[in-house]
Amino acid sequence: MLSRRHLLFLAKISVLFGGLLFSAPAWADHVVTDQIGRQVHIPDTVSRVVILQHQTLNIAVQLDAMDKVVGVLDEWKKQLGANYVRLAPQLPKLPMPGGLTKVNIEELLKLKPDVVFVTNYAPADMVKQIEEAGLPVVAISLLDVPPEEAVKLNPSVKDEPAAIDAGFAIGVRLIAEVLGRKDKGEQMIAVTKKARKLIADRLADIPEDRRVPVYMANPDLTTYGRGKYTGLMMERAGARNVANSISGFKQVTMEDVLKWDPTVIFVQERYPTVVDDIKKSPSWQTIDAVKSGRIYLMPEYAKAWGYPMPEAMALGELWMAKELYPERFKDIDMQKEADAYYKEFYRIDYRAAQ
């Protein structure tokens, strides 16, 4: 019987001679570096993946690779929002063998995945359990930081714009490579760069002390500070994040918000009840944004998450900049921009999530 080494040799000869012998076997692997610095051996041909991170799942949908997804995280509806199902109708039918920080190894093995995607802060013992079952694990962070920081939920980031821009591109390319969608991944990165240049050019002359003070309101007084994409999203849109003194995603106090007194409050699309809570709660009524009625529920595409998402970079930052500085972006039709993006990456017309 031929050894695996001999088979690989014959496979390579086959490629050199136009496939006269046979194609490389499915188990022939290559190595990728994931976003926590691990070298991971994956099959040359990946046909079945399980995704236990909502950011990677969202990117996979946009890469038109859901035909390869055989399992997803159990928190997908909470993390992506109930309306997301219209963009990926197959989601409710897919098995859910785990989540961001847990896995049911027996259920996972039943799905026979070629690769399992996890979040960068997935517990080490969870990753080890999956690997010891013989499955390649690829961790995604969408942030370019040293490995010792990459495994943290709230990593320390020295150069935030560079870490997020580079980490996004690295992450998208990695996901696209595993899923066999390299060209679409490059197209996605190009679209985000084009939108960012437009915004940067139009806001270049606004000094820091004249930027609009903005607060990102989440449930239970949680918000985003430094080191998370949401803070950079606001910065790129010409806002001054009033919570910039904190690091990462954290809970603050009502006293903090009263002290910051934001001029504008943004609320993520997946948390619509937060808008009503703020409007009705007596403790919020003295805040400038509440008095002036400048509380905005963000559109579906403006994913103000801790991790950079392509539509947030291509559309969300533009929408936010237009809300903050309408005169500078009066020629921008966000409905038209959203329609074009959704048709290209979601293969569906954009309809506002109302």
Are residues 252 and 315 both part of a single domain?
A: yes
Are residues 139 and 236 both part of a single domain?
A: no
Q: Is residue 60 packed enough to be buried (19+ CB in 10 Å), middle (13-18) or exposed (0-12)? A: buried
pLDDT reported for residue 352: 59
Q: Is residue 190 in a domain?
A: no
Please report, for the domain that includes residue 285, its CATH number: 3.40.50.1980
Are residues 2 and 113 both part of a single domain?
A: no
pLDDT reported for residue 151: 94
Please state the domain count of the chain: 3
Are residues 160 and 217 both part of a single domain?
A: no
Which DSSP string do the residues of 194-247 spell out, in sequence order?
Answer: HHHHHHHHHHTT--GGGSEEEEEE-GGGEEE-BTSHHHHHHHHTTEEETTTTSB
Buried b / exposed e along 23-48 (16+ C-beta atoms within 10 A): ebeeeebeebebbbebebebbeebee
Mean pLDDT for 121-148 is: 96
Give yes or no for residue 265 having a pLDDT over 50: yes
Give yes or no for residue 354 having a pLDDT over 80: no
Q: Is residue 352 in a domain?
A: no
pLDDT in tens, 19-32: 333 333 345 479 99
Are residues 169 and 247 both part of a single domain?
A: no
Mean pLDDT for 281-307 is: 94
Are residues 209 and 81 both part of a single domain?
A: no
Are residues 9 and 42 both part of a single domain?
A: no
Q: Is residue 175 in a domain?
A: yes
pLDDT reported for residue 24: 37
Q: Is residue 194 in a domain?
A: no
Are residues 306 and 336 both part of a single domain?
A: yes
Q: CA 140, CA 138: separation in Å to the nearest integer?
A: 7
Give yes or no for residue 5 having a pLDDT over 60: no
Are residues 89 and 162 both part of a single domain?
A: yes
Give yes or no for residue 185 having a pLDDT over 90: yes
pLDDT reported for residue 235: 94
Which domain range does residue 107 map to? 34-180
Q: What is the mean pLDDT of the chain?
A: 90
Mean pLDDT for 120-133 is: 97
Q: Specify the pTM.
A: 0.84
pLDDT in tens, 310-320: 999 999 999 99
Give yes or no for residue 104 having a pLDDT over 50: yes
pLDDT reported for residue 243: 96
Sign for the pseudo-dihedral over CA of 279, 280, 281, 286: positive
* Eight-class DSSP state of 314: I
Are residues 52 and 147 both part of a single domain?
A: yes
Ranges 71-80, 170-179, 222-231, 319-328: which has the least confidence:
222-231
Is residue 304 very low, low, confident or very high in pLDDT (cuts 50, 70, 90)?
A: confident
Is residue 179 very low, low, confident or very high in pLDDT (cuts 50, 70, 90)?
A: very high
H-only helix segments in the chain: 4-16, 54-62, 76-80, 105-110, 124-132, 147-150, 160-179, 182-203, 229-236, 254-260, 273-280, 288-291, 310-311, 317-324, 334-345
Sign for the pseudo-dihedral over CA of 218, 100, 154, 150: negative
High-pLDDT (> 70) share of the chain, %: 91
Q: Which amino acid is located at 163 in the chain? A: A
Q: Is residue 350 in a domain?
A: no
φ/ψ of 17, rounded to 5, equals -105, 35
Mean pLDDT for 75-87 is: 90
Q: CA 70, CA 90: separation in Å to the nearest integer?
A: 10
Number of H helices, E strands in the chain: 15, 12
